[in-house]
Amino acid sequence: MFKFTFKIFLLILCMPYFAIAQQNATDSNNNKNSDEKVTYKLTPTYYSNSDKKDASDINLRANYGAHTSWVGFYKDQESFQQLRAGYEYTTSNDLGQWVPSIQVASQGFIGGSINNQYGDNVYSILGFGRTNMRPYYNLNFDPNDAYTFGIGTKLIPRTNLYFYSVHDNRFNTGQIISHLVWRYSVSPQERYTLDYSYKRGSQEEGEIRVTGKSLTFGYDFSNYFIKLARDQKVNFTQQDQTRFSLGFRF
């Protein structure tokens, strides 16, 4: 099982490089040169929990055109740790922009999703996700077996404002998380992001339902970024969590 999972990790991480090889072959055949190159984003994150069982994570993403892959490692103070890798592809047609993705993790976890954005200055958001229900620490903090719908606008100068809601559609937990996100670009090199969300539901079917709010602040400047979040009832547990990320692109 370990050997099989490790092979999947390697396959996912190599996907952008397969894309490069394919693009280079195409460029060679057409006597063209591609200006695209692989870019990376490294994000270390620290999680401070109200039960004092803190955790840390490090994530590395590689982008090449429409291709994105990532690898990450999470570890908490209760000795739970998980290695993960994923891949997503962005494509467009008459029905909008589509982003299918797949993620695998140690302990046998496999998950996938597909998301669609239709429209330009005013657009809709739709999504669907599924997992094989194996152990996984959810670093998305939204239900993974879920559907997503929302709406957004870019009509306000330098602003991308959108609302979306993620609903559990598999485990009868009643989990719903709704987000209102504001992104403001001061310049091509500087951006602010605020993400306010409200959640309700239970961690498992039949458990006591919880409600909570979260607020995430992000600041990007040149190749560097910081993100600070305060999340009540994180992942529908009884714990509150503060998250801090400091990373860079290269």
The pLDDT score that the predictor gives to residue 78 is 85
Between vectors from CA 168 to CA 164 and to CA 174, what angle results, nearest 5°?
105
With tokens 């998305």, the residue in question is 140
The pLDDT score that the predictor gives to residue 2 is 42
Q: 214 or 7, which is more confident?
A: 214
Q: If pLDDT is split at 50, 70 and 90, which confidence band does 79 have?
A: confident
% of the chain residues with pLDDT over 90: 82
Q: Average per-residue pLDDT in the chain?
A: 90
Provide the residue type at 76 as one letter: D
130/168 Cα distance (integer angstroms): 10
The pLDDT score that the predictor gives to residue 14 is 55
- SS3 per residue for the chain: CHHHHHHHHHHHHHHHHHHHHHHHHHHHHHCCCCCCCCEEEEEEEEEEECCCCCEEEEEEEEEECCEEEEEEEEEECCCCEEEEEEEEECEEECCEEEEEEEEEECCCEEEEEEEEEEECCEEEEEEEEEECCCCCCCCCCCCCCEEEEEEEECCCCCEEEEEEEEEECCCCCCCEEEEEEEEEEEECCEEEEEEEEEEEECCCCCCCCEEEEEEEEEEEECCEEEEEEEECCHHHCCCCEEEEEEEEEC
135/119 Cα distance (integer angstroms): 36
pLDDT in tens, 157-193: 999 999 999 999 999 999 999 999 999 999 999 999 9
Q: Rounded mean pLDDT of 202-220?
A: 95
The residues, ordered by sequence, that sit 6+ positions from 212 with a Cβ below 8 Å of its Cβ are 198, 199, 200, 231, 232, 233, 234, 240
Q: Rounded mean pLDDT of 46-55?
A: 95
So where are the chain's domains? 2-249
3/217 Cα distance (integer angstroms): 39
Q: Is the pLDDT of residue 3 over 80?
A: no
- SS3 per residue for 11-44: HHHHHHHHHHHHHHHHHHHHCCCCCCCCEEEEEE
Give the residue from 75, 69, 81 showing the smallest Cα distance to 45: 75
For residue 19, report the phi and psi dihedrals to the nearest 5 degrees. -65, -40
Which token pair is 196?
């306010």
Structure pTM? 0.85
**Range 2-249 classified under CATH 2.60.120.10:** no
Exposure b/e, 128-147, CB count within 10 A at least 16 = b: ebebeeeebbebebbbbbbb
The pLDDT score that the predictor gives to residue 25 is 47
Q: Is the pLDDT of residue 8 over 70?
A: no
